[in-house]
Structure 1
Amino acid sequence: MKDFLKGSKFYPLEIVIDDREPDAMLEYLLFYKNIIVRKERLLVGDFRLDSELLVERKSISDFCISLKDGRFFKQAAKLSNSNIPACIIIEGRKNVLKGIGFSKNALQAILLSVSLIFKIPVLRSKSQEETVKIMLQSFRQLTKDRLADYKFNPRWKPKFNRQKSDKFLKQKVHILEGFPGIGADKAEQLIKHFGSLQHVFNAPESELLKVVGIGKSTVEKMKMILNESS
């Protein structure tokens, strides 16, 4: 088993795989200690990464078949209409293109139309293992704190009496860091905005979303944990 997957604050990462995907994809993902994987029937996409990214995986042969029977553009439309960012990964080596009924130029034109019309990135992969690596890299890039957050919202430094307040600030930050998607910077922003943990926990979603770096997915997970009964 490999080391922990690194590169984002959104861990452990939960990945839902469509139950029609091959078992090998599950095995490649379970190489990492901090990934939780479960299978279920997905209505859109083949992989859902922590409700932050949808991935449609297609082997080259399946891609061509889905073009012929009309499935591909319907799937692209569903991905485009989803409120979760999405991408398509075309998997397989170029020599598979021989004898499938589509020229290289025709396929290139179709992929360009998907990128330009549906606004969905189309990525290429040579194997199932590489597909998993591309998915995880895409997730890391998507969930990485934006440079603008650091440029215009520098790390908050408390201006309270150091003898007492620093001690409690560290404790508050530590508690908030236990929620998915909340690192030290976002925890301090929440404390700065609301003043106390009680106010953070009781705040409505609309108020939480006003805090820099706090998105809808993070708020939903926080509320779910706070409202979960034992």
Structure 2
Amino acid sequence: MWSLVWSGLSRGWRLRLGWSLSSRLVAGMAEALRISVDSNEASRRRDIVNYFRLSGFDVDVRRLDVCDYVVSDRCGIERKDVSDFLGSMKDGRLFKQARDMAEAYEKPVLILEGRMSRAFKRSRMRPASVYGALSSLVLDYGVSVVPTEDPETTSILLHRMAYREQVRDKRPVQLRSVKRDMPLHRKQVFLLSGLPQIGSTLAEELLRRFDSPFRVMEEFTSAEISVSSSGKTRRLVGSLSEVRGVGPVIVENAQRLLTESFSDLCDLEEDGG
């Protein structure tokens, strides 16, 4: 089966795929990279999905509520070729999608694929309107816009983003959605599942144990970690230790997120720290 897929790829795809496979071997990765792909996107761009499968990715194809691709718990990516981008401007889909992406993911990304100059000629839209929309995506919605030439370069970009998130930053793939009509208790789960390394299952366990998001966050901020005399063993002390799946690392990450000074972190980033 794979030989048939390989033979159907262009020379450019094969060269890029050869680089992809060799770079993975050199890096000595213990686990395959993961990527979740929306089922409609997978049908439209089978070449991209085949690239990831042949690159050794664990590819999860399913119906995604938000975005076309997800490479971590914080990064969701929408891919639009330039014609689709202009069409979504006309029918109003663009900014609804941008709002959903920004609400669901900390790092929303729009990949703009193809040559805009050609699309301008076909659509007859004013460049000022198009670049105004792009400015709004970046400044109003916080969506990063990244141009690519074609599906091949889109695949390389997605590959590198997945590598950066999962290998360098150790972030897991986690799907998130935005449903404005969801009941309040589901919103509580959604809120807590945004904490580092806490998915929806653990969020529900925490809520069943402590009853409200406020009390869960109180427990995290007040939790203590006991260190052995040798300094080699750390143990969680208190009520959180009774919740299966919660350990010192999760607590420390949550405490940092909930208690660090926003101003200090911004100053540190500006100083290059």
Q: Same fold (TM over 0.5)?
A: yes
| Structure (1 or 2) with the greater helix fraction | 2
Higher RCO (CA 8 Å, separation ≥ 6 residues): 1
**Aligned AA for 2:22?**
D
Q: Distance between the aligned counterparts of 2:140 and 2:81, measured in 1?
A: 22
Query: Structure 1 residues 19, 111: closer, same or farther in 2, change over 3 A?
Result: same
In structure 1, the partner of 2:36 is 16
Question: Are 2:88 and 1:66 aligned?
Answer: yes
2: CA distance between counterparts of 1:7 and 1:93?
34
Q: Displacement, 1:9?
A: 7.3
RMSD: 3.7
Q: Is 1:46 matched up with 2:68?
A: yes
Q: Paired residue for 2:130, among 103, 107, 121?
A: 107
Contact 1:7 1:140 in 2 (8 A): no
Q: What 5-or-longer segments of structure 2 have no aligned partner?
A: 1-17, 171-230, 236-240, 258-273
Answer yes or no: is the 8 Å Cα contact 1:46–1:55 preserved in 2: yes
Identity %: 23
CA shift in 2, pair 1:102/1:7, >3 Å: farther
C-alpha deviation, 1:32, in angstroms:
1.2
Residues 116-127 of structure 1 mapped to structure 2, 5 A cutoff: 116-127=139-150
CA 1:141/1:52 → structure 2, altered by over 3 Å: closer, same or farther? same
1:97 to 87, 112, 120: 120
Indicate if the aligned counterparts of 2:38 and 2:62 stay in contact, CA closer than 8 A: yes
The count of residues paired between Structure 1 and Structure 2 equals 170
Could you list the per-position Cα deviations for residues 52-103 of structure 1 after superposition, in whole angstroms to 9, with x for gaps in the alignment? Answer: 4211000100111111111111100000001452200010123233121322
Structure 1 unaligned residues grouped into runs of 5+: 147-190, 217-230
Q: Distance in 2 between matches of 1:63 and 1:7?
A: 36
**1:1-230 → structure 2 map (5 Å cutoff):** 2-3=21-22, 5=24, 11-21=31-41, 22-33=45-56, 35-94=57-116, 95-143=118-166, 144-145=168-169, 192=232, 194=234, 204-205=245-246, 207-211=248-252
- TM-score relative to the length of structure 1: 0.61
Deviation per residue, 1:6-37 (Å, 9 max, x gap):
7797942221111112211101222312x111
